[in-house]
Structure 1
Amino acid sequence: MSNANYRVEPVILSLDRAPAFPFDPAPSLTTLRAEQPIARLAAPEGAPGVWMITGYHLVRQILADPRFSSRYEIHYHPLAGGHLPPAPVGDLTGMDAPQHTRFRKLLAGKFTVRRMNLLTERVTEITRERLDVMERQGPPADLVEVFTQPVPALMICELLGVPYEDRDRFQSSTRALSDGGTAEAQYAAFAELGTYLRELALAKRAKPTDDLLSDLATGGDLTDEELGGVAAFLLGAGLDTTANMLALGTFALLRNPAQLAALRGDPGLAVGAVEELLRYLSVAATGMRGVLEDVELGGRQLKAGDTVIIAINAANRDPTRFPDPDVLDLRRPATGHLAFGHGVHQCLGQQLARIEMRVAFPALLIRFPALRLAVPAEELSLRTDPTQVYGVHSLPVTWDRG
């Protein structure tokens, strides 16, 4: 696209979603993608340039280009009105090479497709156990509380080697991170989990067990601080996104009964269905990169020190990449979506997340064939804070007793 097709004035952008279309990106992003898939945003005088990127091919290009940095401290955040603090120790999403390369090499061998596939049996057991709990309690139920949050939380417990006697406490704290409580309560829960994980990491050094955290404690060159930081990173990366994908994905299926029926009738469809739900929902909706040197992108000149905001949800709905992108079609070949990112920062735990969803969605729909919302859809409490993973705070559902 040539420069002649762009407006030159900065854009004032709203990220508010249309209430009637909770699964779609904000209308402003859809409009921007059609008119100028790279657009400069309005910013205070003296601030560095901030660019919104909504086109699929541009987002993919940025994610693969080392001239765009992941380091938080060089990102100018418009909502914060300044630069962000550096990433916490162990947070791979806020690092560049060579620090990122060092941490990723230590973790990559722990998240191979083969190793994750070996966890399928345990995912299946945990899913069945949670559905048993749901059935015993009877309708109605908050699906987030009883199912979509506990499944990935318990799998994180398995990975990190959280002792069985600590798992109720662990789940209680992780639930507080996503239940719509006050910011203070969420910060307190996160701090409690961080303290617990640091203590657990040190215990693994002294007495390793058969789990990922013990592997890292005994087989790498991580300091105590780094080990605890990596544990906290794995918790955040492996819990919130998957829990919200399961909840929001169920909501989307309940609102698309033909697609729900297709998946219930053919559980083998789950592999492709998960990819389409990842594309369609894109719960990790946005990301940021700092521009390290002057670069031409999509016909625009970006300067060193600028920040780009990448709209993953808009990119995954780009009609130049996915025909009829606003339609949920579980039989669509949705490979190539950017829900797990792209390039060197592509999500390490994506195979585990896929396994959890491939098991959980069909199991839920088959166990409860009359599953439905227990409240009108417009009454659901959505996670609308643009700094959070998108999803629902709760998902009240009901069903017919057998």
Structure 2
Amino acid sequence: MSPTRDVLDVDRVRELFDLRGSFVAQAGGGYEDDPYPIWRSLRERAPVHEGTVHELTGVDEPLLFHGLPEPDRPHFSAFAHAACDRAYRDGEVFASSPEAVDLDGAPAVTNSMLSMGGERHRRYRALVQPSFVPAKARWWIRNWIERTVHLLIDAFADQGRAELNVDFCAAIPVLTITGAFGIPLERALDVRAAARRPQDVLRILGPIVAERRERPRDDLISVLVEAEVKDADGTPHRLTDTEIHSFALLLLAAGSGTTWKQMGITLAALLQRPHVLAAVREDRALLRPAIEESTRWQPTDPMFSRWVTRDTDFFGVRLPKGAVLHISIGAANRDPARWENPDEYDVHRPPKASLAFGGGPHICLGMHVARAEMLTGIGALLDRLPNLRLDPDAEPPRFIGFYERGATAIPVVFG
């Protein structure tokens, strides 16, 4: 039995990362239809519509996600790539938060640089950006990703079959980010379970931050405690515990909640197309475009939101100050004005940036780490599991969920 399996409760992993479970139910985890034909119709009718994405798609139940529910604000949704791209790039009109961040307030995901704007956001992002650039990917792979991937594969490599979505994909990002924080392996799932209770997470993280202030190590918390940020007047200061805690909560939420679903989507797309999987196995240079194409074709979070700061005319629609604009990434990423045959999953598609990782100044900070996790994880599966294929006797994977989309179980056989 591998060290990872000794402490990683598989049943608990399945509970915490179940798309239909309580963690994502409020974001439409039980939605099983294909929303893309409806989004295509909406995009063809107009680039921007009044209403939320789920209401316009025909989902009557109230859903919670970024920018939702906000019942006292008017809501609009953008479906065309040009409209979504402009909203991401114009941070003055389309703010990432309805109110200013209070750095003296309680630590929270929404009280972090995710919700900052303008110069303040640039200053705080610059602190940690060096740890997330492509050149730093090897640091993540060497210290945390590679070891985790191979320990997980060790647990089933001699069994001839496995379930790859939850038992493999889900575990990699949460173990990577908690490892980068110096959180012991046996506490990793405690952190995931407490994701909606920040104070419970901070009871685990707080002592680590205090210890790193005294004795820094080669990890992400040490980067944060040693970083300096300049105030608006140029005065430098070290990050406070509250600032570090809020940033850590943001990374935990983003790092352990999205990459696993996108890795599962990529694996399912390849396994459903054996000829494409064979091509990727033979030519590993195709693995990166296979991942990029999956993020365009089926992004795990197909919508994010912005708050309108002043009355504005936007692609033929009058948006009042205080409204919420929902950016339908899923629809934008299949806009035929930007891609030919956009509904097809094509690993040979000429490279062109999509909105899968957002855009503008708030483009996903951890996108290169996410790519490193997917490249390392899928590459290791292809290296170590000969003749990897979907289990012909099991139900094949399907894509479900609304604001958090992912694959159902991915049962495979090999050897």
Matching residue within 131, 144, 158 for 2:165: 144
Amino acid at match of 1:371: R
- 1:28 matched residue in structure 2: 38
- What's 1:338 paired with? 355
Per the TM alignment, residue 109 of structure 1 is displaced from its structure 2 partner at its CA by 2.1
- Report what 1:68 is aligned to: 94
Kindly indicate whether the alpha-carbon contact (under 8 Å) linking 1:312 and 1:339 is maintained by their aligned counterparts in 2: yes
Letter in 2 for 1:214: S
Which secondary structure does the structure 2 equivalent of 1:209 belong to? coil
Q: Does 1:52 align with 2:46?
A: no
In the alignment, the residues of structure 2 paired with residue 282 and residue 63 of structure 1 have an alpha-carbon distance, to the nearest angstrom, of: 16
For residue 268 of structure 1, report the CA deviation from its aligned partner.
1.6
Query: Does the 8 Å contact 2:216/2:222 carry over to 1?
Result: yes
Give per-residue Cα distances to partners, 1:242-265, cap 9 Å, x unaligned: 111111221222222222222122
SS at match of 1:63: helix
CA displacement 1:128-179 (0-9 Å, x = unmatched)? 332222214x2543323431122222321342233xxx212214543x48xx
C-alpha RMSD of the superposition: 3.0
Q: Give the Cα separation in 2 of the matches to 1:129 and 1:377.
A: 26
The aligned counterpart of 2:204 is 196
Mapped partners of 2:51, 2:380: distance in 1: 44
What residue number does 1:133 align with? 155
Aligned partner of residue 51 in structure 1, secondary structure:
strand
1:271–1:140 Cα change, 3 Å: closer
Q: TM-score, normalised by structure 2?
A: 0.77
Residue 383 to residue 169, structure 1, CA distance change in 2 (3 Å): farther
- Which whole-Å deviations, capped at 9, do the CAs of 1:290-321 have from their partners, x for residues lacking one? 11112221122222111100000110011111
Once residues 357 and 377 of structure 1 are traced to their aligned partners in structure 2, the CA distance between those partners, rounded to angstroms, is 21
Instruction: Pick closer, same or farther for the CA change 1:200–1:18 going to 2, 3 Å.
Output: closer
Indicate the residue corresponding to 2:118 in structure 1. 97
The residue type paired with residue 203 of structure 2 is: T
Pick which of 316-325 and 295-304 moved more.
295-304
Note the C-alpha offset of 1:371.
2.8
Contact 1:152 1:242 in 2 (8 A): yes
Rounded Cα–Cα distance in structure 2 between residues aligned with 1:324 and 1:71: 35
Work out whether 1:216 is the aligned partner of 2:224. Answer: yes
Contact 1:198 1:225 in 2 (8 A): no
User: Any gaps of 5 or more consecutive residues in structure 1?
Assistant: 1-14, 75-84, 178-185
Change (3 A) 1:259 1:192: farther
Residue of structure 1 equivalent to 2:334: 317
Cα shift at 1:353: 1.1
Deviations 1:35-57 (A, max 9, x none): 1111112899x954311101011
Contact 1:73–1:86 (CA under 8 A) maintained in structure 2? no
CA drift of 1:62 comes to 0.5
- Which residue of 297, 301, 304 corresponds with 2:314? 297
| Alignment check: 8 A CA contact 1:372 1:397 kept | yes
Q: Secondary structure at the match of 1:134?
A: coil
Other structure's SS at 2:118 match: coil
Q: 1:322 to 1:156 in 2, by over 3 A?
A: same
C-alpha displacement of 1:121: 3.9
Query: Match of 1:112?
Result: 133
Partner residue, 2:185: 167
The residue type equivalent to 2:345 in the other structure is L
Q: Kindly indicate whether the alpha-carbon contact (under 8 Å) linking 1:272 and 1:330 is maintained by their aligned counterparts in 2.
A: yes
Name the CA distance, whole Å, in 2 between partners of 1:292 and 1:358: 39
Q: Per chain length, whose mean CA-contact separation is higher, i.e. which structure has more relative contact order (CA < 8 Å, sep 6+)? A: 2
Residue 321 of structure 1 aligns to a residue whose secondary structure is coil
1:203 Cα deviation (Å)? 2.3
User: What secondary structure is seen at the aligned counterpart in 2 of 1:320?
Assistant: coil
Question: Does 2:406 match 1:398?
Answer: no
Alpha-carbon separation, structure 1, partners of 2:247 and 2:85: 26
Deviation of 1:370 (Å):
3.0
For 1:59, the aligned partner's letter is C
**How far apart in 2 are the matches of 1:343 and 1:372?**
38
Q: TM-score, normalised by structure 1?
A: 0.79
SS of 2:406 mapped into structure 1? coil
